[in-house]
Structure formats: C-alpha cells, structure tokens
Chain A
Amino acid sequence: MIFSVASYFVVAAIAPWLVRRLGRNAFLVLAALAVATTGWALTRATSVFDGRPVVESREWIPQQGVSLAFRCDALALLMVFLAAGVGVLVLVYCARYFAADEPGLGAFAGVLVAFAGAMIGLVTTDDLILLYVFWELTTVFSYLLIGHRSEHRGSRRAAMQALTMTTFGGLAMLVGLILLGQTAGTYLLSEILAAPPGGTLVTTAIVLILVGALAKAAIVPFGSWLPAAMAAPTPVSAYLHAAAMVKAGVYLVARLAPGFAELDPWRPIVLIAGCATLLLAGWRALREDDLKRVLAYGTVSQLGLLTAVTGAGNRDAALAGIAMLIAHALFKATLFLVVGVVDHAAGTRDLRRLSGLARTMPITCLAAVVAALSMAGLPPTVGFVAKEAVYEAFLHRGRTDTVVLGVLVAGSALTAAYSLRFVWGAFARKPGVPTTRCEPAGALLLGPALLLGAGCLALGLAAGALDHWISSYADLFPSTGSDYHLALWHGPGIALNLSAAAICVGVVLFLAREPVLRLQSATARIEPSRLYDALVRGVDRSALQLTGTTQRGSMPVYVGVILLSLIAIIAATALGNLPLPFPRSPRWSDSAAQLVVCLLVIGTTLIAAGTRGRLPAVLLVGVTGYGCATLFVLQGAPDLALTQGLVETVSVVVFLLVLRRLPRRFGDTTRPGRRVVHIVLGALTGAVLAGVAVSAFAARTRPPVSRAFAAAAEEAGGKEIVSVLLVDIRAWDTMGEIAVLAVAAIGVTSLIFVRRDRALPRLGDRAPDQPARGPRPVAAETLVPERRTVVFEMVARVVFPTVLVLSLYFLFSGHSTPGGGFAGGITAGLALLVRYLAGGRYELAEAAPLPAGRLLGAGLVIGAGTGLVGLIAGGSALRSTVIDGTLPPFGDVHIATSVFFDIGVYLLVVGLVQDVLSALGAELDRRIEQTRDQDAERTVIV
C-alpha cells in the first residue's frame, strides 16, 4: 500500500512532462495507474471482504509515535474502489474534456493524480497523524484544482472559501486527533477503535474531529464552500465533489462511529447537522438554474443524508449508509460528467437555455436518466436499494429515529424533485426555447458517464454482493437483532410506501415549480455563502478595529500598554501575597531640611512634567538633580554631592546648547483627555514602583555590601570611599566606563560633524592675512558687538587658570578628600565652558590647547597603562601601591599609584566636555550663523 500511494506522487511529479510530450492523451497514461490500483484492490477483495484486512507499517517519526501505518479493511477497500475506479473514468474523461492547448494542463494533471494518491492514502492509513497529513493534502490539492481556471474572480473566491473552510476544519480535527491519541496512548486508529478510551477529554476530541469531518463534507454550518467550488472544471467536480474529497468527511464519521457513536454529543451533532443540511440544501437545489449548481446543492444535501445515516451508529444504519455512499458516488459522478458533456456540446449549463437535448444526445440522456433514477431512489437502481435500507434502519426504533426518518423522507422528496428538475432542465424540450444546437461528443467523453450510469444499474441488480462487501464493516456494530440485508426487492412494506410517498411528493414539487420558485425567492435570504461572507467581513472589521486601537504607531500608547501590564502584574502578585513586607517603624525623614529638599524635588518634578516649554523643562529637571546633590550633602556625602552637582551643571549646559536648534515648546499634539490618562498612568507607575522599592528594602535579610567599604578604603590607602571605589575597588568598572565615555564622545561628535574636519576653528583660519594673536580678546574680532560682554570675557580669562588649578587639586587630593579624577575633569571642563560662553567658539579654541581627540586618547592610554603596570609590577591588573614621602614645596605627600589611573580619567573627562562643546556648541554656532547668512542673502535678493 505504501508503494501504491507513493507511486501516485511519483507519477504526479512526472505528469507535467508527460502532458508536454503527449498532450491531453497523457491522461490516458495516467489512468493506467488508477487501473493498476483498482486491479490491486480486486486481488485483495476476497480476503478483505471476508474480514482479513491488509496491514503494512513503516517507521516515520517514532519519537512522536507517528508511523507510516496502513490498514485496508472492507470500508477502506470500498473507498479505494471508489477513489481509484471513479478516478480511472475521470482521467479518461479529462483526455477529451480539455482542449488540447489548454494552458496549465500539465500542472493540472499532476495535481489531479497527486490528489488521487492523497485520497487513497487517506482512506487506507491507520495512523491518526498520517490521516491528518493526507487530509490536508487533499485540501491543498483540491484548492489547486478548484483554482485551475484562475482568471475568474469567482474561481478565486471559491478557492479561498474552500480552503479556509476545510483548513479550519482540518486544524480543529488536528487538535482532536492529538487529544485522542494522547489519551489512548497510541496513534493507531485500529488500536484506538479496538479499545475506545473515554472521558471528557475524549468527548472534546471527538467533537473537534467531527467538526473537521463535517467541514470537509460541507455539512451545515460549514456547507457554503462546496457550491462555490463548482467553479472548478467539471471532471474536478465529478471527482472531488462526488466521489472523493467530500466523502472523506463521511468516511471519517463512518470510521469512528463503531468506537464513539455512544458518546453523548455524537448523535445530536451528526443527526441534527446531517438532517438540517439535507433539507436546506435540497430546498436550495430547486432554485438553481445552472445545472452544475443544481448538482452541487444536491451533493450537499446528500452528504447531509450520508452523515446522518453513517453516524447513527447501529448495524443497519451503517449498512445502509455505506450502500448509500457508494450509490451516491456512482450517480453523482455520472451526472457531473453528463453536465460536462452537455456543457461541451451545447456551450451552456443554464437550464433555461437548454432545450431538446434528449433528441440530439440520446445516449447522454440515457446515462443521465439512469443516474437520476438512482438519485431519486427508484428501482432497479442501487439508489433504490440503499434508500430502502436507510428507511428500514430508522423504522421501528425510538422517537428520535422516527423524527429523523420523517426528515429523511422529506429530504428524499426534495431529492426526487431536483432529480426531475435536472433531467427536465438538461434534456427536455421547453416551450419558447429554441432547440439547442450541439456538437456530437466523442466516445472517450461519453464512455465514462455511460459506464458509471451502468454501474448504478448493475450494483442495484447485484445488491446481494454489495451486502456481503459492506457487512464485515457493519458487523463492527452490535447486532440489532433484525439484521437487515440489502436486496433489490424486499416486497411491499412501510419502507416501500415511504419511497413511493417521497417520489410522489417530489413529482408534485417539480410540477409546482413556479410557486416553489416564488417561495424560494422569499427564503433566499438564508444563504450559507452570505453567512460566510458576513463572517469574513466581521472578522476583517474586528481585526481592523483591534489594529486601530492597539497598533497606532504611537509611542505613548505602546509605553502605556507596557506600563499598564507591568502594574497589573505587580498588583496581582502583591494582592496575592498580602501582607507585603513593610518597614516596621518607617522613618520618614532624618531632618527637616531633608524633608524640605524632598518636597522641593517632588514639586519641581511635577511642574517639569506639566510645562510646555523645553527650556523650563530642562532647567526644572536640573533642579531635581541639584536637589539630589543637596540630599547627598545632608546625608554626609559631600563627595557624591560634588560629583552630582558638577555633572548636573554640564548636562544642563549641554541641553541648552542643543535646545537652540529645537522648537521652543513641546508639540501640542496631545489632547487634554489623553494628558489626564498619561498623568494617571505615570503616577500609578511611580507609586507602584516606589512601593516595590520600599517593600524590597523591608524584605532585606542580608547586611548591605557597603559596610565593608570603609575598611577596604583604609586598606587601599585612602580615606575617600567614593574615590577609592572608583579607582581601586571597582577600577575595572571605571576602566570600562571611561572607555564607553570616550566612545560616546566620539559618537556624539561624529553625528554632528558628518564629513567635516573636527578641529576647532582658529582665528588664523578666518582671516589668514591678519596676525593670529594679539593682546585684544578674541571675541572682539569674532563676535557681533551685541553679544559681547567685556566684563564676562575678562572675568572668564582671569578665572580660567584658577579653576584649572582647582580641578588639579580635586584630581590629586581625591584619595583622601572629596574630589577625584572625575570631579576634577568636570571642573576643568566647566572652565572651558565658561570661556566658550563668554567668548564664543574662537575663544574656546584659544582656551583648549589640544584637540579633544588627543585628550580622550591620552586618557584612555594612561588609564589602561596604569592597569598594565599594575599587572607587570604587582601581578594583577590595576593593582595599586601607596607612596609616602616629602616633596619640598608641598610638604608631606601621600600618593597612591592609583592616582595615575585617576589622571587618565581626568584627561578623558576633559576631552569629553571639550568634544561636546565643540560639537554641540561651536559647530552648531557655525551652522546657525550659516543659516542666518543665507536668510540674509535671500532677503537682500528679494
């Protein structure tokens, strides 16, 4: 079996090549494959029908318990006969149905063959997952087949709809299969059915599997896709929608029924869905004018019948169901092929335009009439045999079955009516319609339809044999006691009367077609395909709304969602763990001053958040920084305060420099309502995180690590903990940080000077013929008079050396008193800043003797060098040594070698500040001037 299934895929792969070589006759070659399968099935038939299935298995994905297991029992073999047998005829039919130069025929042929392979695999496999694989393969292939003539918009929609529906069903089924397999502990169908597991999980699983099966069989509420799929070429309809694909759903119901029909939801689902489909689609078929659509709705209706009967779950019903399934495949395939012939010959499928074909196409008409008899359930066809069995299976049982029986009879009446309508529509001569001209059909086109039609008759006559073939499947169900057997003639009885009644009502319905049509248009609102459209539209719209509300590309919204989620998570966690750890006797402040500063900082923060101007915002944020520094002082940490204050100053100045190029106010894009939301969200987040922080401190169980810092600083030969921390204890971190600082400085400036020389402008560049330096301040020559303040310039020049000395003091005293390389560097940077602010960019160039890059580089080299020296001298990198001694002018000195490291930090920080000043200060100055000059020129020209 593995071989024969695989051979389909191999042949499918070479089919395009065959078609290219042989044209449409290649289909005849392809049909040989299906003939071979049918032959194989014939050789196995005797033993299989006697209850000895053919079994074959290979490993595939052992880890997940999936194997290439095949098992061909009576049910499977019958399905193989249908798939392969009808397949042969359809392939032969294809050889004449398509024009020789049909575009894309090669691919079509390949897909059709592959589909046949998948279908045969589906019915013979014994592995749930492999079943799903084939299931999805038939979906995908059918989709390609339906979409073959893809130019039509209708085709496209149909393909889409078919695929969506069946994929949805397929995935639901997958869950069911996994759940079932997991509970049963095996993925082998035969083992599961031999000992069906139970429980809620299994019930869920079975419901999901049923959803998949019903979707595939086009049962209400999933039925809408099948009529839409009729846009496919006729052989595809004949094969997929009569014999093969839609039968997969019924097959699965039939396959599982012996094990699971007793589960609570099983019968209500199959019976209600099946009966509803039978009636709705049957009624709808009476309205259609396109012959193919008449058949399509007829098919849906019959699938409803099949589902209800095969799913009923007793021996007689199973027997009747499978008989009906075979009968349906035969007569529906015949009728589809007939439609193709008619379409081919007359050029239309519209029953309002066809007239008098019975005379011109007698043989076609004969085949159609036999098939229609079978469909309507008249003797001596197999349809009659099956329908009798169906009625019998629901007779003499409970109340439910009687209701179902009523529906089945009503459905049969509808079936009879549309059978008549079909034959009348296709072949009858209609008053007022000219006789349709048509071309004769060839033997290869007619042959398959005739053969299938003959099959309807032959099987009816051979009802006894049919009974034997099906019985080994039907006997899987517990015996009902009566043990019905299929036969062409059971003699008069209730079943026969019901048949007769159904036919009579059907004839009446057909004769009264005008009033029926009027009634139809009144009920036309309830159309499944509209339901589908509405569903798709609804999903589209809700998706659009969801996108519109959550994905507007706005950062505040994104951040808001994240913050909200965070708050929710933390709040939920906290509420679940009450009481939270909280300081037992919280001390709100150490001193009144501290409290005042805190309130000041909080107040400033609030105002900063509310302000609309950029400048005030920056200044206010600066104030919070200074407030923090003040808190450090009050806490007794002047060193931290010093550093914090210096950093704050530099950053405020840098901000101000940049703000010159930005609008003065923040954009007013936020609506007031949203501002309130932002404020609330911000406050909430702050409160929650503050709460977390307080709670976290209270939950502390270990002593703080900083207790040991003082002793460590002493050991390192210093008194200033912060400095020692920076250059000694955490010297590696500082090393990394200054490297980052250098990179950041280079990054900032390289963004400003994209392709310009980064050197600061000097006086000489500006006017090369003038002497470069003179006793007068630089600003006199470079700044416009309004911007000059001579006093400031002079003060800046005078203060400059003093501040530099102060910075050096900070640098060298750092180990013992507040200061250090970082603070020193920033102080020196501030000195540069003052010079720049006083005298502009040329003054900055005067003040800075070295390019910033060199300072940065030197800083890094010295820092790293100290580390290396430590490594060489002391055995570990950045190791520090203390030198005590007397230096004549200064008196006693106490130097740790780590001071050299600090020098590196110092130089680097100076370089950073200078770099930022020259980029954000001097270079921006130049651009502003440039813009102003250009504007001025433009004004002049105007």
Chain B
Amino acid sequence: MSMSTAATATLAVTKVDAPTIEYGKLSPILIIAGVAVVGVLIEAFLPRPARYRAQLTVALVGMIAAFGAVVWLARDLPDDHRGSVTAMGAVAVDGPSLFLQGTLLLIGIASVLLIGERRLEPAGGDAFAPQAAAAPGSQQEKDAAAAGWTQTEVYPLTMFSLVGMLLFPAANDLLMMFVALEILSLPLYLLCGLARRHRLLSQEAALKYFLLGAFSSAFFLFGVAMLYGYSGSVSLDKIGVASAGAMDNDALLLIGLAMVAVGLLFKVGAVPFHSWTPDVYQGAPTPITGFMAAATKVAAFGAMMRFFYVALPGMRWDWRPVMIGVAIVTMVAGAIIAITQTDVKRLLAYSSIAHAGFILTGMIAMSDAGVSSTMFYLVAYGFVTLGAFAVVTLVRDARGEATHLSHWAGLGRRSPLVAGVFALFLLAFAGIPLTSGFSGKFAVFQAAARGGAGSLVVVGVLCSAVAAFFYVRVIVLMFFSEPKVDGPTVVVPSVMTTAAIALGVAVTVVLGILPQPVLDLADKAALFVH
C-alpha cells in the first residue's frame, strides 16, 4: 500500500492566510458567549436545585465582566475616537459599537435581575413555564409545577441572545450582521413561548414572532445577495465605496438596500413591519418582553445606523425620503392605535412602535448629531421600558399579572409608590421635561431639525401629543379612580426586581435633569469606523 499526500484542499489556488483575530477587541462578545456555553454546561451537569444560583451568578458576573471589557476597550480608543475593525473587517470596534454594547450589557444585567425574580408567583417559581415541553394544561405540566421545577435554560438562552445583540451593532459586514441577527432572534423566539401563565397565548406569540421573523430574515438575506451582486462584497465599507459612485441604473443596489432595510425595520418594529409587536409583547413572559423591547431596539438601531451610515451614505437621497415616510407612518400609527388599548402590555407595545418612529427621526438626520442623539435616546428609552415592564410584573391578581387597564384603576391609592414610579415612566415616555424622555426627544428632534427634516419634527411632536394623551389617561386612571374592591394587589418583589426598577428610575431622572455627561459620551462615540 502506497501513500501520497495531497495538497491542502482549499478552493483558492493561492495560499490563504488563517484569519488573524484580535480576541481582546472582541472580549465583551466572547465573554458573554462563554457565559452562555457555561450556562448550557450547568444545565447538563449540575443537579436541578443548584442550577438557579449557578446560572444567575455566572450570568451576572459575566455581564459585569463584559461591561468592564467594554469600558477598557473604550478607554483604549484613540484620541480622535475613531475605532478599528477586527476579525478581518467583519467586526467594528468603534464608538457606536462600544457605546451600544455597554448599554446592552447594562440592560442585560437589569433584565437578568427581572428574569431571576422568584417572589412574585404565590406558588413559587419564576415567570417561566415549569417545563416548556409539557403541553399546556397537561398532567405533565402539573407534575412539573408540583415538583417545583423551573426552566433554568432561560439564562443561557438570554445570554445567547445577548451575544447576538452585542454583535449586531458591531457587525461590519452584512453576513456577520445576518449571523448576529439570527443569534439574537432564535433564542428570543423560544423565550417568548415560555410564559408560566397564559401559556397558549405565549406559544402563539412565539410562533407568530418566529414565522414573521423568518420572513424578515429571508428578506434580509435576499437583500444581502443583491448588494453582493452589486458591489462584489458583503463588507459595509466596500459597499459604501461602490455605492458612492452609483450611477442611474442601479436597481440592484436599491432593491438590495430596500430588502435589507425591511429586515432591519422588522426588528425595530417599524410600521408596516410592526404587526408582531403587540401580540408578542403581550404573550411573552413580561421579563422577556422588557428585555426584548429594550435590548432588541438598541441592537437593531445600532445595526441600522451602521448599515445606512457606513454602507450607504452616498445613497441618502434615495433612502431618506422613504425612511422619512416610514418614520412618519410609524409614529402616527403607533400613537393612534395605542389610544384604544386596554391592556398595559399592548399599550407599551404600541408605545414602543411610536418610539421606534421617534428614534428613526434621529437616525434620518444623517449627521454625527443624529448618531449621538439616537444613541442617547436608546439609552433613555431602554431603561424606561425595562422599568415599566418590571412594574407590570408586580401588579397581580389570582390569574397572574393583571394587565387589563381596568384593573389598574385606583392603583395610586393602594400603592402610591408603585403607581408613582409607573407614572414617572409614563411621563418619560410622553417626553415631559426633567425626565430622560424629554432629553432624548429634544436631542433627536434637534438633530432632525438641523438635518433639514423639519416636517418630521412637526409630525413627531404631534404624535408625542397624541401619545401623551394615552399615557396621561393611564395616570388619571391610577390616581383619580376609586380602587376596585376585588382589584389586583401589588406584590412585594425581592431585591432583584427592586434593583432593576430603581435603576430605571435613576436613569430616567438623572438623564432628565443632568443629561450632559451621557450626551458628551454619546457625542464622543458618534463616529463610525470606515
């Protein structure tokens, strides 16, 4: 038997160098990915009773460490605040990436605190189904609940989703962006279906989210193919160079742009790709809703800004009118439909749609001020949203969370503190001064006005007024109605939920009164690396 060794079987004829990856620059992402994998191992090897503590500890420590890494990287940015690309140009480590990653990690920490809450269910357990695979109402489900099982897989799932979110705004090529999109989405689809109460609703939400999400991912991918066909590259920089010299006949570029944009707009919940939002927000377990509402928006807007600012700055005259239209429709529809909502979670969902429109307003400014104001808004909005959903988890009756608005009547009498905190969040949503909501709105509207999108500002403010109407209605309901006799009670949470809510309140107030430090930070971080 004779042997001969063949050459390396790779496609290219010339030798390909192995990619050099600066692991240090990716450390926030890698830490969280590691945490997620450790989480899976915990599920596999630790006995059931020990998992909860272990998961919680690993997740929190990991996120804090990753946040530390973000800070370390941010300090390392050169003086002109320009970042660099790594992983062969696939990942950008620049101001916007780090700013948004830091935001995401803080939101992640608060979310995990909410997810880990175990004081609220009277029978014990958390907000998640004791055994997700058991059919709703089945004997298996009852057995699992009686045995006190919990689905501690939610922690690694959340962490995997967070990995995708951290990668999404940093992705500097379209394939990496797609991969990040899927990493962040798939665990979320699953998490949405895990609610302990109203399980069928939750499962329906998950299925809807999944199906529509799959659609939008397909569009995204199709669009990537078009852009690749146009420019011969999936790298945002190269697409940027190619599209800068775009001539008249560039349907391929425009259609690709449109399809990628559809995928991104779906994730931020902009009209007309918003329809999943209310159903999913309502059905998902509330801590997950909070996480999703806050973090997905941050990540997706980060990616969207990078896509438009790096890959298509030369095309702004083509996409800006369309995006202005989308922003207007989003604000109007979100604000108007929210008026009729009778469910708190759905109300917040529509408000999140309207807010997507406001954030788009900042993005469309197409300037550094646009980037920084959008990022500031994302921080402000993220914490308010998370806090609001955290409050929703506290108001409960025998059937779980009492999300119907009529149950909230007179809450201000019964628990002034909780109702007051919720009122603060609502005022922040409405953009009343001295809350973070006002600072954010002011920043994006100012940027838009400067960027010549005056019409958008006018519509935006009109919608704010309509939106203020329904926020105010809730406040009136809470403080100026008689409490119902059989109304819900406010459950006293553990220190974890309290901490998450306190964080929300603190950010809301501080960014309302002293926004300057964060504005400075966002301003310094507003340069995309090219």
- Candidates B336, B464, B465; contact of A543 at CB < 8 Å: B336
Stretch from B68-76, B95-103, B207-215, B302-310 forming part of the interface with A: B207-215
**Is B62 located at the chain interface by the 8 A CB criterion?**
no
Question: Does B506 interact with chain A (Cβ within 8 Å)?
Answer: no
**Complex contact A64–B443 (CB within 8 A):** yes
How does the 8 Å CB contact mask read for B409-437 relative to A, with 1 for contact and 0 for none?
A: 00000000000000000010011111000
Closest chain A residue, CB of each to CB of B460 = A175
Interface pair B9/A712, CB less than 8 Å apart: yes
8 smallest CB-CB distances across A and B, nearest first, come from A716-B9, A885-B1, A133-B433, A558-B275, A156-B480, A577-B251, A150-B480, A543-B339
Q: Is A683 interfacial (CB 8 A cutoff)? A: no
Contact A881 B445 (CB under 8 A): no
CA distance A64 to B523 in the complex (A): 11
Whether a CB of chain B sits under 8 angstroms from the CB of A539 is: yes
B9, A171: Cβ atoms closer than 8 Å? no
- Which residue of A is nearest B434, CB measured? A133
Of the A-B pairs whose beta carbons lie under 8 Å apart in the complex, a sample of 20, sorted by A's number, is: A64-B442, A137-B433, A150-B480, A159-B480, A164-B468, A167-B430, A167-B465, A167-B468, A168-B465, A178-B446, A179-B457, A204-B454, A551-B278, A569-B258, A696-B229, A699-B229, A708-B12, A715-B9, A755-B131, A880-B9
Q: Is the CB of B276 within 8 A of A539?
A: no
Report the minimum CB–CB distance from A180 to chain B (whole Å): 10
Determine whether B146 belongs to the interface, using a CB cutoff of 8 Å to chain A: no
List of B residues within 8 angstroms of A607 by Cβ: none
Of B12, B226, B519, the contact of A64 (CB 8 Å cutoff) = B519
Which residues from 644 to 666 on chain A have a C-beta closer than 8 Å to any C-beta of chain B? none
CA of A801 to CA of B240 in the docked complex: distance in angstroms? Answer: 59
Nearest CB on A from B222, distance (A) = 8
Q: When the two chains form their complex, are residues A886 and B1 in contact, meaning their CB atoms are under 8 A apart? A: yes
For window 249-271 of chain B, which residues contact chain A by CB distance below 8 Å?
249-252, 254-255, 258-259, 262, 266
A696's nearest neighbour on chain B, judged by CB, is B229
Is A566 a contact of B433 with CB atoms below 8 Å? no
* A544 contacts the other chain (CB 8 A): yes
Q: How far is the CA of A542 from the CA of B336 in the complex (A)?
A: 8
Across the interface, do A696 and B457 meet the contact criterion of CB distance under 8 Å? Answer: no
B225 interface contact, C-beta 8 A: yes
In the assembled complex, B20 has its CB within 8 A of some CB on chain A: no
Residue of A nearest to B439 (CB): A61
Task: Say yes or no: B251 contacts A695, CB within 8 Å.
Answer: yes
Given contacts A61-B515, A178-B442, A754-B133, 9 further A-B pairs with CB under 8 A are: A559-B211, A565-B272, A569-B322, A573-B258, A574-B251, A692-B255, A715-B7, A882-B5, A884-B4
A581 adjacent to chain B (CB < 8 Å): yes
One of B80-88, B386-394, B471-479 contacting the partner: B471-479
Collect the chain B residues with CB atoms within 8 Å of residue A701's CB. 232
Report whether A695 and B8 are in contact in the complex, using a CB–CB cutoff of 8 Å: no
Flag whether A592 is at the interface (Cβ < 8 A): no
B481 — which chain A residues lie within 8 A by C-beta? 156
Across-interface contacts of B13 in A (CB, < 8 A): 708, 711
**A545-581 interface mask toward B, CB cutoff 8 Å, 1 = contact, 0 = none?**
0110011010101110110111001100110110111
Task: Tell whether, in the assembled complex, residue A547 and residue B465 are in contact, meaning their CB atoms are under 8 Å apart.
Answer: no
A172 and B208 contact, CB distance less than 8 A:
no
- Tell me, rounded to whole Å, the shortest Cβ–Cβ distance linking A580 to chain B: 5
Instruction: Report the minimum CB–CB distance from B175 to chain A (whole Å).
Output: 13
Q: Is the CB of B208 within 8 A of A175?
A: no
**Chain A contacts to B: CB under 8 angstroms:** 60-64, 129, 132-133, 136-137, 140, 147, 150-151, 155-156, 159-160, 163-164, 167-168, 171-172, 174-175, 178-179, 182, 201, 204, 208, 539-540, 542-544, 546-547, 550-551, 553, 555, 557-559, 561-562, 564-566, 569-570, 573-574, 576-577, 579-581, 689, 692, 695-696, 699-702, 705, 708-709, 711-712, 715-717, 724, 728-729, 750-751, 754-755, 874, 876, 879-886, 896
CB atoms of B252 and A883 under 8 A apart:
no
Residues of B within 8 Å of A751, CB to CB, are 133
Q: B351: shortest Cβ distance to chain A, in Å? A: 13
Tell me if B469 counts as interface (CB < 8 A to partner A): yes
In the bound complex, CA of A577 to CA of B259 (Å): 16
Q: Assess whether B408 is interfacial by the CB under 8 Å rule.
A: no
Question: Which residues in B have their C-beta under 8 angstroms from that of A151?
Answer: 482
Binary per-residue interface labels of chain B (321-340) against chain A in the complex, 1 for a CB within 8 Å, 0 otherwise: 01000000000010011111
B61 contact set on A, CB distance < 8 A: none
Residues of chain B within 8 A (CB-CB) of A883 are 1, 3-4
B432 and A543: CB pair below 8 A?
Answer: no
Q: Is the CB of A547 within 8 A of B3?
A: no
Q: Which residue of A lies closest to B339 (CB)?
A: A543
- A147's partner among B255, B433, B458, B480 (CB-CB below 8 A) is B480
A523 CB to closest chain B CB, in angstroms? Answer: 29
Which residues from chain A contact B443 at a C-beta distance below 8 Å? 64
Q: Judge whether B273 is part of the interface by a CB distance below 8 angstroms.
A: yes
A172→B466 CA distance, assembly (Å)? 11
- Considering the chains assembled together, what is the distance between the CA atoms of A542 and B340 in angstroms? 9
- How many Å lie between the Cα of A155 and that of B476 in the bound state? 10
Q: Does any Cβ of A come within 8 Å of B41's Cβ?
A: no
- Asked if A712 contacts B248 (CB within 8 A), the reply is no
Closest A residue, CB atoms, query B1: A885
Identity of the chain B residue whose Cβ is nearest the Cβ of A554 in the assembled complex: B275
Give the distance in Å from the alpha carbon of A543 to the alpha carbon of B466 in the complex.
11
**B residues less than 8 Å from A882 (CB atoms):** 4-6
Task: Give Cα A880 to B10, complex, Å.
Answer: 10
Cβ distance A147 to chain B, nearest Cβ, rounded Å: 5
Closest Cβ–Cβ distance, residue B33 to chain A (whole Å): 15
A696 to B250, CA, bound (A): 11
B123, CB-defined interface residue at 8 Å: no
Asked if B140 lies at the interface with its beta carbon under 8 angstroms from chain A, I say yes
Contact code string B190-226 (vs A, CB < 8 Å = 1, else 0): 0000000000000000001001100110010010011
Min CB–CB distance B483 → chain A (angstroms): 12
Cα distance A715–B457 when bound, in Å?
Answer: 62
Minimal beta-carbon separation of B529 from chain A (angstroms):
22
Question: Which residues of B lie under 8 Å from residue A729 when comparing CB positions?
Answer: 9-11
A699 x B252 contact (CB < 8 A): yes
For residue B462, CB closer than 8 A to chain A, the reply is yes
Residues in A neighbouring B468, C-beta threshold 8 A: 164, 167-168, 171
Contact of B276 among A136, A547, A558, A879 (CB under 8 A): A558
Residues of A within 8 A of B358 (CB): none
Whether B464 contacts A577 by the Cβ 8 Å rule is: no
Tell me the minimal C-beta distance from B317 to chain A in angstroms.
12
Q: How far is the CB of A374 from chain B (nearest CB, A)?
A: 36
**Which of A147, A156, A699, A715 is B230 in contact with, Cβ under 8 Å?**
A699
A715 CA to B12 CA, complexed, in Å: 11
CB-CB < 8 A to B140: which residues of A? 754-755
A573 near B251 with CB under 8 A, answer yes
Residue contact A156 to B476, C-beta cutoff 8 Å? yes
The reply to whether A546 and B9 contact each other, CB–CB distance below 8 Å, is: no
Q: Which residue of A lies closest to B410 (CB)?
A: A150
Q: Give Cα distance in the complex from A178 to B466, angstroms.
A: 19
The answer to whether B275 touches A557, judged by C-beta atoms less than 8 angstroms apart, is yes
Does B461 sit at the interface, judged by CB under 8 A? Answer: yes
Chain B residues lying within 8 Å of A728, measured Cβ to Cβ, are 9
Q: CA of A544 to CA of B338 in the docked complex: distance in angstroms?
A: 9
Which residues from chain B contact A172 at a C-beta distance below 8 Å? Answer: 461-462, 465
Knowing A699-B230, A701-B232, the reply to whether A129 touches B258 (Cβ < 8 A) is no
- Look across to chain A and name the residue whose beta carbon is closest to the beta carbon of B254: A573
Query: Which residues from chain B contact A129 at a C-beta distance below 8 Å?
Result: 442
Contact of B212 among A132, A175, A182, A558 (CB under 8 A): A558
Give A875's nearest chain B residue, CB to CB. Answer: B8
CB neighbours of A566 from chain B (8 A): 219, 258-259, 262
The answer to whether A562 and B465 touch across the interface, beta carbons within 8 angstroms, is no
CA gap between A137 and B479 in the complex, in Å: 18
Name B513's closest neighbour in chain A (CB-CB): A60
> Which B residues touch A547, using CB under 8 A?
337, 340-341
User: Which A residues are CB-close (under 8 A) to B523?
Assistant: 63
Q: Which residues of A contact B30 (CB under 8 A)?
A: none
Residues of B within 8 A of A539 (CB): 336, 339, 466, 469
Q: How far is the CB of A358 from chain B (nearest CB, A)?
A: 38
